[in-house]
Amino acid sequence: MPRVPRMVVTDSGQKAAYHVISRTALDGLPFGKVEKDELVRIIQRYSAIYSVEVLGFAIMGNHFHLLVQVSPGDSMSNDEVRRRFHLLYGEGTEFPEGRLDEYRERFSSLSAYVKDIKQRFSCFYNKRKKRKGTLWGERFKSVIVEQGNTLIHCLAYIDLNAVRAGIVKRPEDYRWCSMGYHFQTGNKDGFLSSDLGMPDFGVGDPSTRFRTYREYLYHLGAIDKRGKAKISRKVLDEEAAQGFDMNRLRRFRYRSRYFTDSGIIGSRAFVEAQYETFKDHFQSARVKIPKRVKGIEGMYSLKRLSEA
């Protein structure tokens, strides 16, 4: 039976939002911490190469969700196409000028974007597990999502995956979802879109935007759904009492994983000095730059152990 053509918005000059879901063909929950971390890094890499904005994601034990906005190819200048090409293949690779339009189309293609993510992760997983064969099940599913209330509801659905699975009590406790990434890393490297799908709702201040979204997320997560875990009334009341804000103490708690996940942590001078001593311990030949631990003044981190 021939494949049903994928529904893709082709209107010139119009961004389109998609909810992407893809499941593994393997039994059980094959994706552990290391696999989830790697899949997040791969999504980050290809999201910088392709003309997409990532609004949300959730990496679960046997599948992943992505909520992305894809910009049309005609929004990219020729120089932008060349820049993305060199991000993909390296600065030293000569750009094939005769294929300019081909790469413009590729870098605005949802299918090419997800295909690259899945293929790259398959290579990583099979090498790590010393296996061969298919990793993913049937081709990924994509749903066109309307901007506005529908988009925010879809983002919340994605962020609540770990809560519904009974893994965590609060969505930000799960670091492999967009809410966890926002609060546990401070949206490191600007990976996620900061508007949270709310650019037209008059919520311009980032802190107000997060508070508004968290209130919506917690109320939605507390709705009783048969057979599904949910945010408890006690947790909802605790958040409501704090105005759905993240105080300094709680932000520190979310940053505390740096004390166990980092290779080196401390002041920038300390981290740089220790890096010079242990350079040969790093697999990458590129110079490592200390990253500031947001929420803890003057503290920097280098290389999470999971990246070893």
Q: Tell me 116's DSSP state.
A: H
Write out the chain's pLDDT in tens, 308 residues: 445 555 666 665 678 889 999 999 999 999 999 999 999 999 999 999 999 999 999 999 999 999 999 998 888 999 999 999 999 999 999 999 999 999 999 999 999 999 999 999 999 999 999 999 899 998 888 888 988 888 888 899 999 999 999 999 989 899 999 999 988 888 888 899 877 766 555 556 777 787 888 888 888 888 766 667 788 888 888 877 777 776 554 555 555 555 555 667 777 887 787 777 777 766 666 777 887 766 556 777 775 433 43
Superfamily of domain 1-145: Transposase IS200-like (3.30.70.1290)
Q: At what angle do helices 233-241 and 206-221 cross, to 10 degrees?
A: 160
Q: H or E stretch including 19? A: strand 16-23
pLDDT at 90: 94
Q: 18 φ, ψ to 5°?
A: -135, 140
Task: Please report, for the chain, the start and end positions of each structural domain, with discontinuous segments joined by +.
Answer: 1-145, 146-255, 262-307
The rounded distance, in Å, linking the Cα atoms of 270 and 301 is 10
Report the chain's C-alpha Rg in angstroms: 20
The arrangement of strands across the sheet holding 291-292 comes to 262-266, 300-304, 291-292
The residues, ordered by sequence, that sit 6+ positions from 63 with a Cβ below 8 Å of its Cβ are 21, 22, 23, 24
Residue located via tokens 């008059």? 202
The rounded distance, in Å, linking the Cα atoms of 202 and 19 is 24
The SS3 assignment for 230 reads coil
H helices, E strands: number in the chain: 12, 7
The rounded distance, in Å, linking the Cα atoms of 262 and 72 is 38
Task: Report CA 182 to chain centroid distance, whole Å.
Answer: 9
The SS3 assignment for 25 reads coil
The rounded distance, in Å, linking the Cα atoms of 181 and 23 is 21
- Retrieve residue 4's tokens: 């049903």
The rounded distance, in Å, linking the Cα atoms of 109 and 89 is 18
pLDDT at 21: 93
The SS3 assignment for 114 reads helix
pLDDT at 271: 79
pLDDT at 138: 83
- Retrieve residue 138's tokens: 């049937």
Determine whether 133 is exposed, middle or buried from the number of CB atoms within 10 Å of its CB (0-12, 13-18, 19+).
exposed
pLDDT at 304: 47
pLDDT at 15: 84
Q: Note the pTM of the prediction, 2 decimals.
A: 0.78
